[in-house]
Amino acid sequence: MKASFQKYILNFKTPSGTSRGVLKQKETWFLLLKNDNKIGIGECGMFRGLSIDDRPDFEEKLKWVCNNIQLGEEDLYHKLIEFPAIQIGVEMAFKSLEANTTFELFPSEFTQNEQEIPINGLIWMGDKRFMKEQILEKITLGFHCIKMKIGAIDFSTELDILHSIRKEFSASDLELRVDANGAFSPSEALEKLKRLSDHQLHSIEQPIKQGQWTEMAHLCENSPLDIALDEELIGIYSEEKKKELLHLINPQYIILKPTLIAGFKGADSWISQAETKNIGWWITSALESNVGLNAISQYTFTKNSTLPQGLGTGSLFTNNIPSPLEVCNGALRYHTNKKWDLKNLNN
């Protein structure tokens, strides 16, 4: 078996704003395996400024993986505990190599285009006009669940946008989620959550920065708005620490980004821990290319969640890898009549 990796820069169609800044490009790395005439491909979508493995030796560790690929999936996975983005790349690449076809890692009714995955429409931060334009576009495209990034512009403006949505669409017509990416301070968070809850929101993701477990526990206990942990899960490796976090904070939901939490095995572990405490969960992508989004979507379908998932990021880039994935009427489908096109990857 031979292994290699290739760096790839994804370019955003439109600069995309979050409370951590504006994104114009996204780096990712593809892990390529060759064994006889078979090819396996995985994506190591480390996220600058967010991933625990955003460190100078990331590519050096990828080289190490390629030089030690004979160790096999299990051994490599356990030796990469500090590199979750490489862990999922290893999982994907080996599953791809073993699969009947390169990109059907988790065969199901989804990969046969017999069922779809409901997803939320993602609204990026910007001025009031830009955000309203995005919202109208998503509703026109058939989305019944919208997730709005908040925390970077004036809070009263964000409330005004939510108010204008609710004037036209009731909670039964349109589910609204918001994502603060840790933008609120602990001292102001509860008051802001109370004001947000007036607009019949489903939930808010990560209202305060991760690592403030006591403060987050206080919010989850007292907030009139359901709270979902997101960044809070990053860098939590052991089963004991996961159990401790969920026991102390006791959130209403957790959000699983497999690239940031040790891949599919990591997501399985969090789901198991959450379900013992009746904590809800859903899965989202982390701006991977269609290679990673494909694997994460196929995995997600097998988990049988009834909630809208956060898997609508494939159309954000000008130079994504063409694939059978397509968003239609607020759901992700895998069109079996469409083909993968890897020419972008080879350039």
Contact 332, 311 (CB under 8 A): yes
Return the SS3 of 251: coil
Exposure class string for 35-67: b at 16+ Cβ within 10 A, else e: eeeeebbbbbbbbeebbbbeeeebeebbebbee
Spatial contact of 261 and 270, defined as CB atoms under 8 Å apart: yes
| Catalytic residue status for 257 | yes
The residue type at 103: F
Q: 106 Cβ partners below 8 Å, 6+ apart?
A: 95, 295, 298, 299, 301, 302
Residue 45 per-residue DSSP state: -
Comparing C-alpha atoms, which of 94, 124, 90, 137 is closest to residue 266? 90
Of the residues 61, 138, 149, 242, which is catalytic?
A: 149
Long-range CB pairs of 161-164, under 8 A, 24+ apart, other chains included: 161/128, 161/131, 161/132, 161/135, 162/196, 162/199, 162/201, 163/199, 164/132
**Token pair in block for residue 22:** 């504006």
Residue type, 176: L
Helices 213-222, 239-249: crossing angle, 10 deg rounding? 40
In this structure, what token pair is assigned to residue 262?
A: 């040790």
Q: How far is CA 57 from the centre of its chain?
A: 24
Q: Is 79 a catalytic residue?
A: no
At 59, phi and psi to the nearest 5?
-70, -30
Say which of 257, 265, 339, 343 is annotated catalytic: 257
Residues 177 and 169: their CA atoms lie apart, in Å, by 14
Active site residues: 149, 257
